Chains A and B, each alone.
Chain A
Protein backbone atom coordinates (compact mmCIF):
# COMPACT_ATOMS: atom_id res chain seq x y z
CA UNK A 1 0.00 0.00 0.00
CA UNK A 2 1.20 3.52 -0.84
CA UNK A 3 -0.64 5.17 2.08
CA UNK A 4 -1.02 8.92 1.48
CA UNK A 5 0.39 10.19 -1.81
CA UNK A 6 0.94 13.88 -2.54
CA UNK A 7 1.82 15.50 -5.84
CA UNK A 8 3.86 17.41 -6.76
CA UNK A 9 6.78 17.14 -4.33
CA UNK A 10 8.19 20.53 -5.26
CA UNK A 11 6.67 23.57 -6.93
CA UNK A 12 7.75 27.13 -7.61
CA UNK A 13 5.09 29.71 -8.44
CA UNK A 14 5.07 33.37 -9.23
CA UNK A 15 2.86 35.69 -7.21
CA UNK A 16 -0.67 35.57 -8.57
CA UNK A 17 -0.40 32.18 -10.22
CA UNK A 18 -2.78 29.40 -9.29
CA UNK A 19 -2.20 25.74 -8.67
CA UNK A 20 -3.75 22.65 -7.15
CA UNK A 21 -2.03 20.27 -4.76
CA UNK A 22 -3.24 16.72 -5.08
CA UNK A 23 -3.63 14.16 -2.32
CA UNK A 24 -4.85 10.58 -2.50
CA UNK A 25 -5.06 7.82 0.10
CA UNK A 26 -5.59 4.11 -0.45
CA UNK A 27 -6.55 3.13 3.10
CA UNK A 28 -10.30 3.69 2.71
CA UNK A 29 -10.15 6.45 5.32
CA UNK A 30 -13.13 8.68 5.91
CA UNK A 31 -11.33 11.84 7.05
CA UNK A 32 -8.68 13.87 5.23
CA UNK A 33 -6.72 16.97 6.17
CA UNK A 34 -4.46 19.65 4.76
CA UNK A 35 -1.71 21.23 6.90
CA UNK A 36 0.99 23.75 6.25
CA UNK A 37 4.33 23.95 8.04
CA UNK A 38 6.43 27.10 7.97
CA UNK A 39 10.16 26.90 8.74
CA UNK A 40 10.84 26.10 12.39
CA UNK A 41 7.14 25.93 13.20
CA UNK A 42 4.62 23.24 13.97
CA UNK A 43 1.90 22.20 11.55
CA UNK A 44 -1.26 24.27 11.18
CA UNK A 45 -4.54 22.90 9.90
CA UNK A 46 -5.85 24.58 6.74
CA UNK A 47 -8.95 22.56 5.87
CA UNK A 48 -10.32 19.17 6.67
CA UNK A 49 -12.96 16.80 5.35
CA UNK A 50 -14.56 14.63 7.99
CA UNK A 51 -16.27 12.49 5.36
CA UNK A 52 -16.86 12.36 1.63
CA UNK A 53 -18.91 15.38 0.55
CA UNK A 54 -18.05 17.59 3.52
CA UNK A 55 -15.30 20.13 4.07
CA UNK A 56 -14.60 22.53 6.93
CA UNK A 57 -12.17 25.32 7.70
CA UNK A 58 -9.26 24.78 10.02
CA UNK A 59 -6.98 27.26 11.73
CA UNK A 60 -5.59 29.04 8.62
CA UNK A 61 -8.03 28.70 5.66
CA UNK A 62 -7.65 32.13 4.05
CA UNK A 63 -6.31 32.01 0.51
CA UNK A 64 -7.14 28.34 -0.01
CA UNK A 65 -9.98 26.22 -1.33
CA UNK A 66 -10.44 22.47 -1.13
CA UNK A 67 -12.36 19.76 -2.91
CA UNK A 68 -13.13 16.29 -1.63
CA UNK A 69 -13.41 14.73 -5.05
CA UNK A 70 -14.29 11.27 -3.73
CA UNK A 71 -13.38 9.18 -0.72
CA UNK A 72 -9.79 8.76 -1.91
CA UNK A 73 -8.89 12.25 -3.05
CA UNK A 74 -8.70 15.66 -1.36
CA UNK A 75 -7.20 18.57 -3.28
CA UNK A 76 -5.99 21.98 -2.10
CA UNK A 77 -6.16 24.95 -4.47
CA UNK A 78 -4.36 28.26 -4.32
CA UNK A 79 -6.28 30.65 -6.57
CA UNK A 80 -3.79 33.52 -6.45
CA UNK A 81 -0.55 32.53 -4.78
CA UNK A 82 1.18 34.95 -2.42
CA UNK A 83 4.72 34.83 -0.95
CA UNK A 84 3.15 34.26 2.48
CA UNK A 85 1.98 30.89 1.20
CA UNK A 86 5.53 29.66 0.80
CA UNK A 87 5.52 26.59 3.01
CA UNK A 88 5.58 22.83 3.13
CA UNK A 89 2.11 21.35 2.71
CA UNK A 90 1.14 18.02 4.23
CA UNK A 91 -1.92 15.97 3.54
CA UNK A 92 -3.14 13.45 6.10
CA UNK A 93 -5.93 10.96 6.51
CA UNK A 94 -7.55 8.99 9.31
CA UNK A 95 -10.21 6.34 9.51
CA UNK A 96 -12.33 8.55 11.70
CA UNK A 97 -11.95 11.83 13.52
CA UNK A 98 -10.34 10.32 16.62
CA UNK A 99 -8.09 7.78 14.99
CA UNK A 100 -4.41 8.29 14.31
CA UNK A 101 -3.34 10.40 11.37
CA UNK A 102 -1.31 9.11 8.46
CA UNK A 103 0.69 11.80 6.68
CA UNK A 104 2.00 12.15 3.16
CA UNK A 105 5.58 13.13 2.42
CA UNK A 106 4.75 16.77 1.75
CA UNK A 107 4.85 19.34 -1.04
CA UNK A 108 7.44 22.09 -0.80
CA UNK A 109 5.95 25.22 -2.34
CA UNK A 110 7.82 28.46 -3.01
CA UNK A 111 5.99 31.58 -4.16
CA UNK A 112 8.25 34.26 -5.59
Chain B
Protein backbone atom coordinates (compact mmCIF):
# COMPACT_ATOMS: atom_id res chain seq x y z
CA UNK B 1 0.00 0.00 0.00
CA UNK B 2 1.17 3.51 -0.76
CA UNK B 3 2.26 5.48 2.27
CA UNK B 4 1.27 9.06 2.91
CA UNK B 5 3.16 11.93 4.51
CA UNK B 6 1.32 14.80 6.14
CA UNK B 7 2.55 17.68 8.30
CA UNK B 8 1.74 16.96 11.96
CA UNK B 9 0.02 20.29 12.54
CA UNK B 10 -1.21 23.44 10.83
CA UNK B 11 -2.97 26.63 11.83
CA UNK B 12 -5.48 28.60 9.82
CA UNK B 13 -7.32 31.87 10.44
CA UNK B 14 -11.09 31.67 10.61
CA UNK B 15 -12.66 32.58 7.28
CA UNK B 16 -9.52 31.88 5.31
CA UNK B 17 -8.87 28.87 3.11
CA UNK B 18 -7.15 25.92 4.75
CA UNK B 19 -4.83 24.01 2.43
CA UNK B 20 -3.75 20.64 3.77
CA UNK B 21 -1.01 18.86 1.80
CA UNK B 22 -0.38 15.15 1.46
CA UNK B 23 2.48 13.34 -0.24
CA UNK B 24 1.92 9.87 -1.68
CA UNK B 25 4.82 9.39 -4.06
CA UNK B 26 4.44 5.57 -4.26
CA UNK B 27 0.77 5.62 -5.20
CA UNK B 28 -0.22 3.04 -7.78
CA UNK B 29 -2.65 3.41 -10.64
CA UNK B 30 -5.65 1.80 -8.97
CA UNK B 31 -5.34 3.55 -5.60
CA UNK B 32 -7.72 6.30 -4.61
CA UNK B 33 -6.91 9.28 -2.40
CA UNK B 34 -9.36 9.63 0.49
CA UNK B 35 -9.66 12.33 3.12
CA UNK B 36 -11.35 11.89 6.48
CA UNK B 37 -11.36 14.07 9.55
CA UNK B 38 -11.81 13.37 13.24
CA UNK B 39 -13.19 16.05 15.48
CA UNK B 40 -12.10 15.62 19.08
CA UNK B 41 -12.81 12.00 20.05
CA UNK B 42 -15.64 11.37 17.63
CA UNK B 43 -15.57 8.76 14.90
CA UNK B 44 -13.87 9.88 11.67
CA UNK B 45 -16.00 11.65 9.09
CA UNK B 46 -15.61 11.21 5.35
CA UNK B 47 -14.75 14.38 3.47
CA UNK B 48 -13.90 13.62 -0.15
CA UNK B 49 -12.03 11.22 -2.42
CA UNK B 50 -10.59 11.09 -5.93
CA UNK B 51 -8.59 9.00 -8.35
CA UNK B 52 -6.89 11.51 -10.66
CA UNK B 53 -9.30 14.33 -11.39
CA UNK B 54 -9.86 17.23 -9.04
CA UNK B 55 -13.03 16.86 -6.99
CA UNK B 56 -15.31 19.26 -5.16
CA UNK B 57 -18.24 18.74 -2.85
CA UNK B 58 -20.11 20.76 -0.25
CA UNK B 59 -17.35 20.29 2.30
CA UNK B 60 -14.08 20.68 0.42
CA UNK B 61 -12.05 20.48 -2.77
CA UNK B 62 -9.41 17.90 -3.57
CA UNK B 63 -6.58 18.82 -5.89
CA UNK B 64 -4.46 15.91 -7.15
CA UNK B 65 -1.26 16.63 -9.07
CA UNK B 66 -0.97 15.32 -12.60
CA UNK B 67 1.61 12.70 -11.57
CA UNK B 68 -0.66 11.77 -8.59
CA UNK B 69 2.26 11.87 -6.20
CA UNK B 70 0.68 14.50 -3.99
CA UNK B 71 -2.65 16.11 -3.25
CA UNK B 72 -4.13 19.05 -1.35
CA UNK B 73 -7.37 19.23 0.56
CA UNK B 74 -8.87 22.71 0.50
CA UNK B 75 -11.43 23.95 3.00
CA UNK B 76 -12.47 27.19 1.28
CA UNK B 77 -13.68 29.17 4.30
CA UNK B 78 -12.46 27.52 7.49
CA UNK B 79 -14.57 27.86 10.63
CA UNK B 80 -13.78 27.03 14.24
CA UNK B 81 -15.79 23.83 13.81
CA UNK B 82 -13.24 22.65 11.22
CA UNK B 83 -10.63 22.22 13.96
CA UNK B 84 -9.85 18.51 13.74
CA UNK B 85 -7.29 15.89 12.74
CA UNK B 86 -7.33 15.36 8.98
CA UNK B 87 -6.29 12.02 7.52
CA UNK B 88 -5.08 11.50 3.98
CA UNK B 89 -5.38 7.84 2.99
CA UNK B 90 -4.35 6.10 -0.19
CA UNK B 91 -5.92 2.74 -0.84
CA UNK B 92 -7.55 0.39 -3.31
CA UNK B 93 -10.55 -0.37 -1.11
CA UNK B 94 -11.67 -0.17 2.50
CA UNK B 95 -10.21 -3.53 3.39
CA UNK B 96 -6.67 -2.20 3.40
CA UNK B 97 -7.30 1.25 4.78
CA UNK B 98 -4.53 2.68 6.94
CA UNK B 99 -4.98 5.76 9.07
CA UNK B 100 -1.71 7.48 9.91
CA UNK B 101 -1.21 10.25 12.43
CA UNK B 102 -2.81 12.86 10.18
CA UNK B 103 -2.59 16.65 10.36
CA UNK B 104 -4.01 18.46 13.35
CA UNK B 105 -5.64 21.59 11.94
CA UNK B 106 -6.38 24.39 14.38
CA UNK B 107 -8.63 27.17 13.13
CA UNK B 108 -8.05 30.34 15.09
CA UNK B 109 -10.41 33.30 15.48
Give A residues with C-beta under 8 Å from B: 4, 31, 33, 35, 40-45, 48, 50, 56, 58-59, 88, 90, 92, 94, 97-106
Q: Known contacts A56-B95, A90-B44; can you find 6 more A-B pairs with CB under 8 A? A: A43-B99, A59-B98, A98-B93, A101-B94, A103-B45, A106-B43
What B residues does A50 contact at CB under 8 A? 95
**Which of A44, A56, A103 is the one whose CB lies under 8 Å from B44?**
A103
Give B residues with C-beta under 8 Å from A: 32, 34, 36, 41-46, 49, 87, 92-95, 97-102
Contact of A97 with B93 in the complex, beta carbons under 8 Å: yes
Contact of A104 with B94 in the complex, beta carbons under 8 Å: no
Contact of A42 with B101 in the complex, beta carbons under 8 Å: yes
Contact of A105 with B43 in the complex, beta carbons under 8 Å: yes
Contact of A88 with B46 in the complex, beta carbons under 8 Å: no
Contact of A42 with B94 in the complex, beta carbons under 8 Å: no
Contact of B95 with A42 in the complex, beta carbons under 8 Å: no
Instruction: Report the bound CA distance from A69 to B92 in whole Å.
Output: 27
Quote the shortest CB–CB distance from A108 to chain B (angstroms). Answer: 8
Instruction: Report the bound CA distance from A92 to B49 in whole Å.
Output: 17
Can you offer 17 A-B residue contacts whose CB atoms are under 8 A?
Answer: A4-B43, A33-B94, A35-B99, A42-B100, A42-B101, A43-B99, A88-B41, A98-B32, A98-B92, A98-B93, A98-B94, A99-B94, A101-B36, A101-B94, A103-B43, A105-B42, A106-B42
Contact of B95 with A100 in the complex, beta carbons under 8 Å: no
Contact of B95 with A97 in the complex, beta carbons under 8 Å: yes
Residue with the highest number of chain B CB atoms closer than 10 Å, among A40, A42, A99, A102: A42
